């Protein structure tokens, strides 16, 4: 932001020289003509070039509207909101605050909200829903027509699915057949013996979630890491596979997440098989039936893109409303990563009779693209009255009764007059992975609750699972400031940790390190699978991309430190052991944005190095380095790119002095997502102030989806961020 300040000031001085006083441009008061201001805002990075060009293009296409600078301002702001992953522009948030959030006010809207809404009616390009106008205004929100269409269609598809019963057999909805209901109750009791440690407040929510998915076409099962989403889904798929086998597909938004889903399902099936075999002695016949159904659960997961059928160089998929998917039940894991346009495409391609189960963690970072679909679906369960975020299920009377009949739990406390989509939701809150007093779980939960005292107390407890690395402060100046990277002892500690952790992986690849000096055994390099598994033990995650403490700076620093420790020889671009992350899609090679690979010796030809990747189906893919699509080194990656992955040890890097723009990225969801990627150890390089402030800043994405799904009950996710 700073590098262009001088030019900007000069430009702005020119602009203000032209108009030292405020312009009165109808609904606006401006310090310079709006076209000048748009250029200035672009240079100041308050809007992008795309935002400015969108405003200019809209003005060109709608010359009548262009007479009023307010129209162009609204277009630029709408485009800015879309670039920031909001699905619309909430007018309430631009009146009367300065919409550009710049330090010095150069543009004022001179209308009240009511007057602004009234002014909108006079623009040719803006219309009501179904008006066939490029911009749609509804309920205080301005949309691009396309996004309004996505949102309304997603809302009506989810509402329709939620209200529909899933037939166990084509002709019999669940509740209509007492005998099948009783049989299901027995089977559920058998799968969920309700040991004391699995239930919260005397309700085993995993069992309730399973019953929900058995009765409804839509089930949304959410919960943090280790709360038993996969365990639950395996049990419910088992029940679905009793009788006539169903066509079940497992998908996730990224290849990495799909591979992990596949692994989790395999592990969960193995655990359940063992449990059922042990229990077989008591009820051999029934358990044999369950074991047979268990074996019919598919293990292979694919990406959403693969499921829908990518058409190279096209935004369209092979499967859509006119050519629906061939399946009976679709399981989508990591649903928080699914953006609004993708959810629209997925729902459009779902066949009429099929069921949909969304799994995910509503507290994680929202999708990289527009919308926060999973958070919007869950929004109505948020309890507004409590200081920290708490959730409470909301069921219709009929749903509560059906779930009680199936599970035996009394759910009357959760009956709500208008639960809408609530009948399809189930939240799992008890983590079986993190012990109650373990550091990672405690820290994740305190951050999630935005509980500052809790966060501080967890860090101060000196728990073995957590390590705090503080950016050091340089006191030699008149004013103390964060040390330069070369003198930052916190950064040095992080680099030492990286050398130790990545050293375990890199030493495996080198004969000098791997083979004891006195042995005559030839060096046998690890298999690519072993090397990848070792590399995946540890990862550095950065909040930012750029700067000394962003992905770029940290990758450079780690590369230098590893070279100094003689663990790598980075003189060549593709050196042995270099980890890379793909930055664009290459459909021919089967490599996609976010795929991570390692440069390793080719097992078939020891004289050459190849990039090795594990694909979603668990198979190895080898690519000649020269053929790789755009990529970068990946000792450090962004928290965003780490979604759907887990590592034994994670180190998070926060910038010591974030700029205004960087603060917008530093949210509670980002910190929570980073912490919950760690299974055994989490460290953080940061300052207490940045960690705490980020933990208090919840992501808010402007969207009308929560309101459409929940009506007036929706209390969140309708706010635009202009902080
Ligand atoms: N009801 C339960 N009682 C005891 N252990 C459980 C229970 N449910 C799950 N677990 C255990 O907790 C661990 C995590 O379960 P699972 O993988 O199903 O969680 P998850 O929510 O899918 O996790 P993630 O989000 O990380 O994929 C597993 O080891 C599983 O055996």
pLDDT in tens, 647-679: 999 999 999 988 877 888 899 999 999 999 999
Task: Tell me if 331 sits within 8 A of 234, measured CB to CB.
Answer: no
Encoded tokens for 698: 């919840």
CATH 3.40.50.300 fits 439-509+526-696, yes or no: yes
Comparing C-alpha atoms, which of 556, 552, 543 is closest to residue 655? 543
Buried b (16+ CB within 10 A) or exposed e, 604-634: eeeeebbbbbbbbeeeebebebeebbebebb
Return the CATH number of the domain spanning residue range 23-139: 1.10.10
Q: Which residues are annotated as a binding site for ATP?
A: 223-230
Question: Is the distance from CB of 335 to CB of 364 less than 8 angstroms?
Answer: no
* CA-to-CA dists, residue 566 to 57, 402, 497, 556, angstroms: 55, 64, 15, 15
SS (H, E, C) 2-54: HHHHHHHHHHHHHHHHHCCCCEEECCEEECCCHHHHHHHHHHCCCCCHHHHHH
Provide the 3-class DSSP secondary structure of residue 357.
strand
Please give the C-alpha separations between residue 666 and each of 179, 311, 655, in angstroms, as whole numbers: 54, 35, 9
CB under 8 Å to 221, separation ≥6 — which residues? 209, 212, 213, 229, 232, 233, 357, 358, 359, 426, 427, 428
For ligand 1, is residue 583 a contact (CB within 6 Å)? no
Nearest CA to ligand 1 atom 1: 198
For ligand 1, whether the C-beta of 677 sits within 6 Å is: no
644 lines ligand 1 (CB under 6 A): no
CB 647 within 8 A of CB 538: yes
Same CATH fold assignment for domains 23-139 and 439-509+526-696? no
pTM as predicted = 0.84
Distance CA 714, CA 692 (A): 27
User: Is the link from the previous residue into 96 a cis peptide, with omega within 30 of 0?
Assistant: yes
669: tokens are 């969801």
Give the dihedral of Cα atoms 433, 434, 435, 440; nearest 10 deg: 170
Ranges of the chain whose pLDDT falls below 70: 1-20, 95-104, 166-177, 194-201, 280-282, 384-389, 434-437, 478, 480, 512-523, 712-723
pLDDT value of residue 429: 82
Among 198, 222, 432, 672, which residue has the most ligand 1 atoms within 8 Å of its CB, making it the best to mutate?
432
Distance from Cα 72 to the centre of ligand 1, integer Å: 52
Residue with tokens 């965003």: 640
217 with 166: CB under 8 angstroms? Answer: yes
Q: In terms of residues, how long is the chain?
A: 723
360 lines ligand 1 (CB under 6 A): no
CB distance 228 to ligand 1 below 6 Å = yes
Q: Is 231 in the pocket of ligand 1 (CB under 6 A)?
A: yes
d(CA 308, CA 316): 9
Q: Write the residue with the smallest CA distance to atom 5 of ligand 1.
A: 432
Residues β-bridged to residue 649? 538, 681
pLDDT value at residue 13:
52
Q: What is the pLDDT of residues 436-485, one digit of tens each?
A: 567 998 999 899 888 899 999 999 998 999 999 999 887 777 676 777 88
DSSP 236-252: HHHHHTSSSPP-EEEEE
What's residue 365's pLDDT?
A: 87
Token pair in block for residue 546: 């750029």
Q: Considering just the CA atoms, what is the radius of gyration of the chain in Å?
A: 27
Q: What is each CA distance from 631 to 23, 129, 579, 585, 609, in whole angstroms?
A: 48, 42, 10, 10, 16
SS3 percent helix, strand, coil of the chain, rounded to 5, is 45, 15, 40
Question: 190: part of which helix (H) or strand (E)?
Answer: helix 178-191
Q: What is the CATH topology of the domain spanning 157-168+179-190+203-431?
A: Rossmann fold (3.40.50)
206 in ligand 1 pocket by Cβ < 6 Å? yes
Between CA 435 and CA 134 the distance in angstroms is 53
* DSSP H or E run through 308: helix 304-308
As a three-state string, the secondary structure of 144-185 is EHHHHHHHHHHHHHHHHHHHCECEEECCEEHHHCHHHHHHHH
Model pLDDT for residues 109-124, shown as the tens digit of each residue: 878 888 889 999 899 9
Nearest-CA residue for atom 2 of ligand 1: 198
Residue with the smallest CA separation from ligand 1 atom 14 is 226
Tell how far the Cα of 318 is from the centroid of ligand 1, in angstroms. Answer: 35
Domain boundaries, the chain: 23-139, 157-168+179-190+203-431, 439-509+526-696
Binding residues: 223-230
């Amino acid at each position: 932001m700073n590098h262009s300040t001088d030019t900007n000031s000069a430009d702005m001085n020119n602009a203000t020289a032209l108009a030292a006083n405020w312009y009165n441009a109808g609904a606006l008061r401006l310090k310079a003509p709006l076209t000048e201001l748009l250029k200035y805002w672009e240079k100041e990075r308050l809007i992008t070039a795309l935002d400015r060009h969108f405003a200019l293009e809209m003005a060109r296409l709608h010359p009548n509207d262009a007479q009023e600078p307010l129209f162009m301002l609204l277009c630029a702001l709408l485009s800015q909101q879309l670039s920031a992953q909001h699905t619309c522009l909430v007018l309430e948030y631009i009146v009367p605050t300065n919409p550009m959030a710049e330090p010095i006010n150069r543009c004022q809207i001179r209308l009240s909200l009511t007057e602004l809404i009234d002014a909108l009616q006079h623009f040719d390009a803006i219309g009501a829903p179904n008006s066939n106008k490029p911009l749609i205004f509804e309920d205080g929100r301005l949309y691009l027509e396309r996004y309004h269409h996505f949102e309304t269609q997603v809302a009506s598809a989810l509402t329709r699915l939620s209200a529909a019963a899933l037939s166990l057999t084509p002709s019999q909805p669940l509740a209509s057949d007492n005998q099948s209901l009783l049989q299901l109750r027995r089977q559920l009791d058998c799968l969920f013996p309700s040991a004391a440690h699995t239930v919260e407040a005397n309700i085993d929510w995993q069992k309730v979630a399973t019953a929900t998915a058995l009765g409804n076409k839509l089930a949304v099962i959410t919960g943090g890491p280790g709360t038993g989403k996969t365990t639950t889904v395996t049990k419910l798929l088992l029940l679905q596979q009793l009788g006539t086998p169903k066509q079940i597909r497992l998908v996730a938004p990224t290849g990495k997440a799909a591979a992990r889903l596949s692994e989790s399902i395999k592990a969960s099936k193995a655990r359940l098989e063992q449990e059922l075999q042990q229990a077989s002695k008591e009820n051999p016949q029934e358990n044999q039936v369950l074991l047979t159904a268990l074996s019919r659960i598919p293990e292979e997961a694919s990406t959403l893109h693969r499921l829908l059928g990518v058409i190279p160089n096209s935004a369209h998929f092979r499967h859509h409303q006119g050519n629906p998917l061939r399946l009976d039940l679709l399981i989508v894991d990591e649903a928080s990563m699914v953006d609004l346009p993708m959810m629209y495409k997925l729902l459009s391609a779902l066949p009429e009779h099929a069921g949909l189960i969304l799994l995910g963690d509503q507290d994680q970072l929202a999708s990289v693209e527009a919308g926060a679909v999973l958070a919007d679906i869950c929004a109505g369960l948020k309890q507004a009255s409590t200081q920290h975020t708490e959730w409470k299920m909301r069921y219709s009377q009929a749903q509560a009764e059906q779930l009680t009949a199936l599970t035996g739990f009394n759910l009357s406390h959760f009956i709500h007059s208008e639960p809408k989509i609530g009948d399809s939701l189930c939240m799992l809150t008890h983590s079986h992975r993190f012990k109650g007093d373990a550091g990672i779980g405690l820290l994740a939960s305190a951050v999630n609750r935005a509980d500052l005292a809790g966060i501080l107390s967890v860090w101060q407890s000196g728990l073995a699972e957590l390590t705090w690395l503080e950016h050091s402060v340089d006191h030699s100046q008149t004013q103390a400031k964060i040390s330069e990277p070369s003198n930052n002892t916190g950064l040095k500690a992080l680099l030492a940790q990286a050398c130790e952790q990545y050293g375990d992986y890199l030493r495996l690849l080198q004969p000098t390190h791997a083979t004891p000096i006195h042995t005559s055994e030839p060096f046998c390099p690890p298999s690519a699978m072993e090397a990848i598994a070792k590399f995946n033990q540890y990862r550095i995650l950065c909040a930012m991309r750029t700067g000394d403490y962003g992905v770029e700076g940290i990758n450079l620093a780690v590369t230098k430190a590893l070279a100094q420790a003689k663990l790598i020889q980075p003189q060549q671009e593709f050196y042995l052991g270099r980890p890379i992350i793909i930055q664009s899609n290459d459909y021919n090679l089967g490599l996609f944005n976010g795929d991570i690979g390692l440069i390793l010796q080719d097992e078939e030809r020891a004289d050459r190095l190849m990039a090795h990747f594990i694909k979603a189906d668990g198979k190895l893919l080898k690519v000649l380095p020269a053929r790789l699509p755009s990529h970068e080194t990946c000792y450090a990656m962004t928290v965003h790119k780490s979604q759907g992955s887990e590592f034994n040890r994670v180190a998070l890097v926060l910038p010591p002095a974030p700029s205004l723009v960087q603060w917008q990225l530093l949210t509670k969801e980002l910190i929570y997502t980073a912490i919950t990627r760690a299974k055994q150890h989490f460290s953080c390089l940061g300052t207490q102030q940045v960690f705490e402030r980020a933990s208090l800043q919840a992501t808010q994405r402007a969207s009308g989806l929560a309101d459409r799904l929940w009506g007036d009950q929706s209390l969140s996710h309708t706010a635009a961020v202009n902080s």
